[in-house]
Amino acid sequence: MEQNYDVNQRPTKGVHFFAPHHIVQEDRVKQEFSIKDLENLSGVKAHTIRAWEQRYALLNPNRSSTNIRTYGGEDLKKLLNVALLLERGLKISKIAGLSPKQLGQMVAEGPSVSDEGGEALAKQRLKLAMMTYDEVLFRGTMQECVDRLTFDGAVLSVALPFLAEVGVLWLTDTICPAHEHFMSNLLRQMLFAEIHNAPIPQPEEKGKVIVLYLPEREIHDISLLFLHHLCRSARRQSVFLGQSVPFDDLVSVAAQFEDVCFVSYCTTSPAADQAQEYVDRIDRTFAASKVTFHLGGGVFKQAAGGANTTVHTDGASLVQKILH
């Protein structure tokens, strides 16, 4: 299963996997992580984590009867903060000597999310929000980013690159589907709210209508939602159909408009080895019409466009074509 959230970022892949161990305790979820999970989430190599444990007692893992380490949420939070301070140029020998309070103060005294270069801190906070299902932390972090970068900048520079990293975490069994769904749906809420609050462009006589859709069995719609938002921001008339639209329905939709352009950004469907067949089907079906299609996403990387269809190798060219 492939996951990609950004119209500009490199596609990422995800596969079906077993989730990290979860234990329900009282009214919250307590999560346990392997040392490999910590490596994937923090970027610190497992052998380095072990060395820091031995030299500085940096983390406090539980050990099984067979001496296998497991780590809790506080260990993850501490390691993420350590990784952030290392990125700022501090030495591990100094960081390891800090108390939890001092560590938090050092992180707080550095660049904030609202400062230049605050994207790294924002992504760290989004990881914590994801792992603890903390919507308040997500909203606060993204609002600070929006205040500094504008909505579009926050999505492009922080949220979508972060979700691209989430796709990699799927590959490594570090997170479970619930983590990805939690963050993806929060981002969807942001996009839907922004789209809902934007003025609806008035239909122009003989003006082009952009219809955004995903083919059957394609459900990853965040990139498409962002395209819908960009259309609204550019005062372009757009219709959002969303996930898994039957191909035959496109014919009836096209009949409703005099000048229509279909746009899709796909990550899983059609399969890469069926992408050219999908393009060819479009051209056969709409050969006698002025209907145009613009298709983007990793699945179309090896496909060639046709008479009615343009294939885009990256999101930037797709946006440029449909909005300019």
What residues does 240 pair with on adjacent strands? 212
Mean per-residue pLDDT, 204-221: 85
* pLDDT recorded at residue 174: 78
Give the model confidence (pLDDT) of 11-20 as tens digits: 333 322 222 3
pLDDT of residue 239 exceeding 90, the answer is: yes
Look at residues 97, 101, 49 and name the one whose alpha carbon lies nearest to residue 75.
Answer: 49
**CATH, domain 200-323, list 3.40.50.280, 3.90.1170.50, 3.30.450.20, 1.10.10.10:** 3.40.50.280
Options 1.25.40.10, 1.10.1660.10, 3.40.1350.10, 1.25.60.10; which CATH number does 2-195 get?
Answer: 1.10.1660.10
Question: In the prediction, which pLDDT does 194 show?
Answer: 94
Residue type, 241: L
Mean pLDDT of 312-320: 83
User: What pLDDT was estimated at residue 118?
Assistant: 75
Mean confidence (pLDDT) of the chain: 82
Range with the poorest average pLDDT among 17-26, 151-160, 186-195, 250-259? 17-26
Instruction: Identify the DSSP state of 298.
Output: G
| pLDDT in the model for residue 110 | 65
- CA torsion sign for 7, 10, 15, 17 is negative
In the structure, what pLDDT confidence band is assigned to residue 111 with cuts at 50, 70 and 90?
low
At residue 95, the 3 state secondary structure works out as helix
Note the pTM of the prediction, 2 decimals.
Answer: 0.74
Give me the pLDDT at residue 285, please.
Answer: 93
Q: Which of 126-130, 175-179, 291-295 has the highest mean pLDDT?
A: 291-295
Which pLDDT score, from 0 to 100, does residue 65 have?
A: 83
In which residue are the tokens 């159909």 written? 241
> How sure is the predictor about 26, in pLDDT bands with cuts at 50, 70 and 90?
very low
Average pLDDT score over residue span 108-116: 63
* Percentage of the chain modeled with pLDDT above 70: 85
What residue ranges do the domains of the chain occupy?
2-195, 200-323
**Tokens linked to 244:** 């898994």
> Does residue 30 register a pLDDT over 50?
no
Contact 13, 321 (CB under 8 A): no
Of residues 112 and 99, more confidence is placed in 99
